[in-house]
A and B are shown apart, each in its own frame.
Chain A
Amino acid sequence: MLWNRRRPGLAKVVYIGSTVATILAILPLYPRALDGAITTQRLVSIAPRISLAFRVDTVGFYFALLLGVLWLLCSIYSLGYIQKNETRYYCFLSLNLSFCLGVALSANMFTLFIFYELMTLFTYPLIIHEETEQARKAGLKYLVYSVSAGAVIMLGLILQYYYGGTLSFLGHGTLKLSQVGKPILLTIFSIYMLGFGVKACIMPLHGWVPDAHPAAPAPASALLSGVILKVGIFGIIRVMFDVFGIELLKTLGVALPMLIVASFSIIVGSLFALTQDELKRRLAYSSVAQVAYIVLGLFLLAPDGAIGGLLHIAHHAFMKGCLFLAAGVIIHETGKKKVSEMSGIGSRIPLTMAAFAVGALGMMGIPLTCGFITKWFLGLGTIQAHHPCFIAVLLISSLLNAVYFLPIVYVAFFKGESPEGESRLLRRETKRSMLVPVMICAGMIIILGVFVTVKGFPYSLVEVVVKAVF
């Protein structure tokens, strides 16, 4: 795409320009997406009834917009953060954006799968970017997990096509209980869950996450956690809404097992996070727990639960984006990777740590942050679904989030002496290109948490999606 080894500067400009252009290209679709209208475009036919085709519906648009925004923020951040092999980095970053968009805007399972696999492969260079021993190991682990998961999805694809006759997304379930039979439907469902569950890091398929995140450079971790995990979730959404359909899922009785699996992920992920001393590892485990929130919300199979789950895709993207980018600033400016070493860094990089604190509060679901909105809708969903016991999962998880996030903030601000004293005000905190995305993320956490119903914000889109499905 922009393979310009000699002039990385130009590459950067072209790259950022293309990201902005992508967002601008997505935006005109907004009014149609809000109406719930669907735009379809067939590209190539591979075989009868199997084709590469694109379609913009509301959920796809929502995801695509989120991808664009977060990608732009992380790219700007990368300008300051990435020091070596810039061209390679930007090239793969850019390719990944287009593949992720391909997933978001695909019109059938086949297209989705193709882009999903491409994205999986092309994320690898981002993870091993640092080229350390640790990164290589993590990368290999990632590949093994993802490729085997890909094979599993392929299997699901075959089965779905064989029994259902189509791979297209039609806005409702295409598999019919009367034609296929329960055992096979259950098999297809579990195959899809196993396949997409690896990327969506549902426990116990999360093994690659805690290694890959700390190994990747900070902006890439933010993207991994913020949107690439969500691509797995997006696959699950498509499976739920467009392959099976809500009614069929209710008949199949898969909701409760999935809720239990998600709850397990939420609680155990948080418990694991609690014991990590390396900040990015802790954040990675936190992602395992938080992405399971989305699964929990979706599988409540209730409108409010689904709203909560879908909202959390964007909310978590900004919160985790904020935390990972802030972690990147910490590493870049102080070289500290471990929580126990972070005494007093609050006085060295106050704005960053303030943003980190906002992200942490968001994770805990304190009002005025978007995490609270998620928690609220998930809580409403549990009531709608007549599973109020899952409120306990949400609340315990919030408490655990407090237990493993607050000490970081506490240690940074209140522990140790401020080393520089007066001169700190004169010193620049960090590169502007890194500080600005962090602050934007923190700002978004609060804006999304307060002005929920503003047109164009996640809620307005998610509402349309959920209305169409339920």
Chain B
Amino acid sequence: MEHAAVHIEIANSVLPAVAILLPLLGAAAVALIGNRNERLRDIAAAVFAAGAFVTCAAMFPSVMSQGTKLTVSLPIFFGDFRLTADSLGLLFALFASLVWMLATIYSRAYIQHEERRTRYHVFSLLTEAATLGVFLASDFFVLFVFFELMGMLAYALVVHTQTYEAKKAGVKYIFMTVYGGLSLLAGVFLFLMYAGGLGFTAHPGSAYLTTSACFLVSGFMIGGFGVKAGMVPLHVWLPLAHPAAPSPASALLSGVMIKAGAYGFLRIIGTFQVGAPAHSGMGMVASGAGEAGHAAQVPVFMHNLQTLGWVIIWFGILTMVVGMVLALVQDNAKRLLAYSSISQMGYILMGLGVGAYMGAEGGMGLAGGIYHIVNHSLFKSLLFLGVGAVYYMTHVLEISRLGGLWRKMPVTCALTCIGGLGIMGMPLFNGFASKTLLHHAVVEALGVGGGWMRAVDIIFMVAAGGTVCYVAKLLILTFFGHHREESAHEITEVPWAMRLGMGGLATGVVLFGVFPGLVIRKIILPALRPFVNLDPQAVHHLEEIRIFTPANLLAILPALAIGTGIFLVATRWDLFQLRLPKKVGVAYFYTRTELGFLRLCFAGSKRNAELRSVYWPIAESFGEYLYDSWKAMSEEYDRLRDVIKPSGIGMYLYGTLKALGVDYRRFSKTAFERMLLLPMDIAGLASYVRARQFTGDIAYGVIVITAMAALLALTLFW
């Protein structure tokens, strides 16, 4: 029985708490130093961010190599607020703190041309603390607390520049975050209810594992994590928010925080891991081999996990394709990268979905997903920092206005290209390894899923081609060719701090690409430890896997061909300028919903006419897109009020009816009013409804007392 469920030791250690406290202290230090000594402040920020990384690295030997869990209990909240570094969480914490450290170093130079520098550093460090908290949480309660905090704190990073775009993005961001947090909270409550605890695994025998309640729970949780992960159709905030932030913050948003969503998906899959069915004597046969006749022998939760995996795969595919297509047509470099992040999250979700779908054999999908998470955080941060460096020098983000920068910024160009090659999945760069694993996982799933998985395989290939294309477009138009526009500024290489930040990430991209076997054995496989259901044989197979085989190398050729094809065709006929009609995007429907909601609220206010005028500015602050629709709505209300002059509740009902599609004009004024008020008259409440004036209140009092007298009489003569 040399299965994966190695005996996991739990040791007390303050290190997880230290990792979170250091950025917190850093934020305090930065706030105290403030603008008095900018140099010292920036150094302090970098030192504390580095401290967090070192702390995480210090946990590496015992957690990753020896399989110990380090845990610490803080006496806040309900007395046992526990942080635990297990191998999965620590892997996330490790790369999060690494990217954060490099981005902080980079921002030391970059942020010079922004306002409110202290605020930026303070919130960056606070957000780092919250993000590390998400990864080092010991149960869903702690995870939720940090997740929500991370979302709220990052708002300050999104709106940092306080331009019109940033504020608009901020509004969308904050409301999606609030919504996601609530959905997650609902999921956590339901998890507690059905699974009998808040830990990351459900209690054996609980309703969560034996019934389909798990779909309800994981549905709500996915609703929460999906927002953060930029999963289509919950992604609408991402392409606004990521480009709006200053570049190092975009790198953190796209490179790290978005991964908190993926981490949530991993934890959801982890809830089903309650000891491998192999050694509990339950049927192992069917899940791997896919023979329908044996399906009944698979425990219910494995079956549910498979269904869940199937759903996640398709969400992943949708995300991958939507992100890729939209990235292709972007001109703003940061928007392009933001859509690219959505697309890459699609890869990751697909990998995790395959991992869940394959049940005990899912090691390949999970490993591919996790590997891609790490890789994506390296190369996407690098690309954002590279684009940020270009913006720092040229103040231009539209790639059609750039070009030929490699002469003037050779180091930036080289480093950014390393990131680009990484995301394209070129051999010797990290994307190649993870995409190969993902591809292997899909191929393995072909045996179980049949035709559907064939489709997944093809779409995966096309998406990889699209990735090659948009990255090539970004790099070629920015750095190569001829210089399209004379810049007002003297363009030189960026300061050393920025080069250092990018250089660190580029080193990571290369190292993770050149030594994939080492990475898999030392980092990825230990991170799979919480997934105890995995078949040890499959995991062992992973250990032996070789990345640089001729077959794997050949497998990238179709993607390259597709990418080059799209690129050539699109440049030839200028297809990169294509824009889809508004109604195709989900954002349009969100706006409709928001408006419908506001409409309903204001239907309830009888002072609509007067309020409307003062509410316009506020509606505008929700985003200009609401403003025009708002105006149309108000005019409609004027018409409505001419037809009938109802009381407050009357207006409310009208609004409801209108929302349901009933045409109020069919009711004459008097008939409708009477119909509405008759039952209320009977209930003696009509005067209350009308108790807007003082007389109405007197009437209210009289009615209440009369009713009481009646009740008294009734009681006494029962």
Residues of A within 8 A of B (CB): 137, 140-141, 144-145, 147-149, 151-152, 155, 159, 183-184, 187, 191, 194, 204, 207, 268, 271-272, 274-275, 277, 338-340, 343, 361, 364, 366-368, 372-373, 375-376, 379-380, 382-383, 388, 391-392, 395, 398-399, 402-403, 406-407, 410-411, 414-415, 450-453
Q: Chain B contacts of A340 at CB under 8 A?
A: 614-615, 617-618
- Chain A residues with CB under 8 Å of B604's CB are 268, 271-272, 275
Q: Which residues of A contact B77 (CB under 8 A)?
A: 373, 450, 452-453
On whether the beta carbons of A183 and B718 are closer than 8 Å, the reply is: yes
Give the distance to chain A from B414, nearest Cβ to Cβ, in Å.
39
Please state if B708 and A383 are interface contacts (CB–CB under 8 Å): no
The answer to whether B171 and A410 touch across the interface, beta carbons within 8 angstroms, is yes
Q: Take A148-B701, A191-B711, A275-B611 as given contacts and tell me if A410 and B621 are in contact as well, using a CB distance cutoff of 8 Å.
A: yes
Q: Is the CB of B688 within 8 A of A207?
A: yes
Total number of B residues with any Cβ neighbor in A under 8 Å: 60
Determine chain B's interface SS by DSSP, over half rule. helix
Contact residues in B for A398 (Cβ distance below 8 Å): 178, 182
Give the chain A neighbours of B159 by CB distance below 8 A: 414
A428 to B77, CA, bound (A): 36
A151 touches B614 (CB 8 A): no
Residues of B within 8 A of A275 (CB): 601-602, 604-605, 607-608, 611, 615
Q: Is there a chain A Cβ closer than 8 Å to B700's Cβ?
A: yes
Contact at A338–B614, with CB atoms within 8 Å?
yes
Q: How far is the CB of A346 from chain B (nearest CB, A)?
A: 12
Known: A340-B618, A366-B148, A398-B182. A388 touches B190 (CB 8 A): yes
> A339 to B152, Cβ gap below 8 A?
no
Considering only CB atoms, which chain B residue lies closest to A184 in the complex? B715
Given known contacts A155-B712, A368-B149, A451-B76, is B193 in contact with A383 (CB within 8 Å)? yes
Does B698 belong to the interface (CB within 8 Å)? Answer: yes
How long is the Cα–Cα vector from A410 to B617 in the complex, in angstroms? 12
Among residues of B, the one whose C-beta sits closest to the C-beta of A147 is: B701
For the complex, give the distance between the alpha carbons of A391 and B691 in Å. 33
Specify which chain A residues have a CB less than 8 angstroms from the CB of B573 in the assembled complex: none
When the two chains form their complex, are residues B698 and A402 in contact, meaning their CB atoms are under 8 A apart? no
A-B contact count (CB 8 A): 145
Q: Return B610 CB to nearest CB of chain A, in Å.
A: 9
Residue B705 lies at the interface, judged by CB distance under 8 Å to chain A: yes
Q: How far is the CA of A149 from the CA of B604 in the complex (A)?
A: 27
Does B189 lie at the interface of the complex (its beta carbon under 8 Å from any beta carbon of A)? yes
Residues of A within 8 A of B605 (CB): 272, 275
Question: Which single residue of chain A is at the shortest CB-CB distance from B76?
Answer: A450
Evaluate contact between B704 and A148: CB separation under 8 angstroms.
yes
Q: Is the CB of B705 within 8 A of A184?
A: no
Shortest A444–chain B CB gap in Å is 15
Q: Which B residues lie within 8 Å of A144 (CB)? A: 697-698, 700-701
The answer to whether B78 touches A395 (Cβ under 8 A) is no
18 A-B pairs within 8 Å (CB atoms) are namely: A137-B694, A140-B694, A149-B704, A184-B718, A207-B691, A275-B615, A364-B178, A366-B152, A367-B145, A367-B148, A375-B185, A379-B185, A382-B189, A388-B193, A392-B186, A406-B174, A450-B76, A450-B77
Given contacts A144-B698, A144-B700, A410-B621, contact A151 B708 (CB under 8 A): yes
Which chain A residues border B181 with CB–CB below 8 Å? 366
Contact between chains at A148 and B705 (CB < 8 Å): yes
B148 lies within 8 A of A399 (CB): no
Bound Cα distance from A258 to B186, whole angstroms: 22
Residues from chain B with Cβ under 8 Å of A406 in the complex: 174-175
Complex: A22 Cα to B438 Cα, angstroms: 69
Cβ distance B565 to chain A, nearest Cβ, rounded Å: 45
Interfacial chain A residues near B95, Cβ < 8 Å: none
* Interface check B179, CB cutoff 8 A: yes
